[in-house]
Structure 1
Amino acid sequence: MLSVAEETRVIDLPTGRLDIAIEEAVWPLDRLCAFAARENPRRGFLVVSRVLGRHLPTPPQVIRASARDLAARIPAGLPGPVMVIGLAETAVCLGQTVHEELRAASARDDVYFLHSTRQQLDHPLLCRFEEPHSHASAHLIYRPDLPEPRTLVIVDDEISTGTTLCNLAEALVAAWPRVEAIVVATLTDWSRGRGWQARMPRPTQVASLLGGRLEWTQGAVALADAGFDQAAASLGRMASHRNVGRLGIAAPVAPPPDMALPEITGPVRVLGTGEFTYLPFRLAERLAGEGHDVVVQATSRSPARIGAAMASKLCFSDNYGTGVPNYLYNADPSDGRMTLIAHETGAGTIDPALIAALDATPIGWSA
């Protein structure tokens, strides 16, 4: 049920002020997200999702429910083949779960998945595009060995100005000229009235769980330092790689049923790393289905300030070997949870400081 009464909010942050107007919502604002200040001269605020399992610990049941409800708002009968595209790093798991739900609900076998990445692979590129406000602006999309799509379903966690979506769509349509229609699926759409859809290269619809407007008044500006500049320019390189989305997949993937895990005797935190978030989420779902108390989180390259939605912050080295600082927010070492750090980057790549801070056990998916 959509709410129709407009709700307004003012969010004061150390870096400025957000003025929010909610026009419609399937999920209420406080169930979907909170806010924090970025250490980013390009954009001083961060929308902190409560349903992604990234910056805030989230039960896998909540992640699944939000993705299912979002997939249900994607129009039926889209021209096929359909390519669902998740944006790294934040919306990889969301995009992949939406793909899974869309296939299940539609009973179609021509719905595929692909996600952008900041990792270089020995594989032909389809295109690259820029996310101008990001701490790491360059995205790569590799050419999948899948049918050329007629519909794109682009999945991101939020829309603010629509500029990134226009950049991505232009690059994709140049590579795939048979595309006829585009759907943008997002948890929160803050772009009402900005007119970005008119700049899209094909007719575009938006599916969201909340829609409205967001105006940012800049206050104190964070100065770019060497670490920020490095993150903005840095792409990793993976010498070995197991494809679970970067090269495109036709059907959903899942953790192997016989994967080795330590004995779990109490509450557990499954921690994804960077872009590797979907399989950790699926593992968390499995553990929850076995009766365990589970939350999901993930490491991030996004530099945020302590305060507002960010109660704590750990900083450590990137397991992808780029030298870019990585962060983990709102993981309380005293919460009694056993931590499993799920990664795709091989033995010895997780910073010992992160392992020690959470008394964690690394769980590797090898190539």
Structure 2
Amino acid sequence: MPVLLLVGAGHAHLHLARRAAALAAAGYQVLLLAPRYFDYSGVASATAAGVLDGSVGRIDVRALAAASSLEMHEGTLESLDPQARIAVTSAGELLAYDVLSLNIGSVADPVGVHVHPSVLRVKPLRGLAELDGRLRARGAQRAVVTVVGGGSSGVELAAHLSVRSDVAHVQLVESGAGVGAGLPAGARRRIVRLLARRGVAVHTGRVVRELGERQLVCDDGTVIAHDVALLAAGLTAPPLLAEIGLGDGRGVPVRATLQHVERDEVYAVGDCALFLPRALPRIGVHGVRQGPVLLQSLLARARGAALPVYEPQRRALAVLDLGDGVGLAARGGLWWYGTAALRLKRYVDRRWLRTYQEPVPLPRAGPGKR
């Protein structure tokens, strides 16, 4: 019986965990190595800012595994021997495998920037868990907060924090010419107006070289002081991938079949994968959509059939939660702003989360249902 080792509990592996019975029916012994909880990125800004309770976006991976009769090893990947096909866990376990799938996300680690340990990072998501508590602990002393990175996560955090009563001032620092890269031009202008109205100081064209506990320093000598700093830029694949020889900061290089370019027994999905057919942004939609393809690939592999390929959609719906009851949705060149956009986001997020927060094991797939 081939052993399938799933490392990480990202979007794609959660899909497989719910369908572990189908994998077992195909002949796999399935092992899952992952932390106890998965925090959903779609509500990360709102939970970090204290707008939503932290439990809203949290999935109990152990409970999901139990409901699916999936053998779970709680922890993270410490090291890997690709030749011997043995994984070493953070608990010191040795897990042998025949097929390996990696879904371990990304980290905020910009090249060439010295980052103080006190700085909170948007990835991995557990790095944001302290934000609300850190702001509340200041009591009557309102905080000056600096957010580094003007992408979707940085914009969401800056917008949310700007309406908190315990935040005195928010500063958003971006190395590019503007914030909201990837959004339609009109949507970017709408965000800039919103941030200005809320008193957010937006600094563009500023490359940060040192992000300290109380100030940051840009390469042009500009110094910006703060009480709390958040790093929402420089997303890369985890350094572990380079250490074990399966990738680099760009990710694990995979073909359209989601297999390693040189190792057919290794799959990678989500933020930790470098999709070679074309560059993909590190957004959750690809992890979600790669899940069914990965499942079908593993089932086809067990049958000796041709493997399916992942065909990314050219345009995906993106909805930003901008705090104070409003959001901004965009798809392609179309966009809209307001309360309806946020309601749509909440509906989509709740629907996806319910699938895994209220786990009901799916039946084994019969021969005609694979």
Greater percentage in helix: 2
TM over 0.5: no
For the aligned pair, the TM-score class normalised by the smaller chain equals under 0.3
Give TM-score scaled by structure 1 length: 0.28
Of Structure 1 and Structure 2, which has the larger fraction of its residues in strand?
A: 1
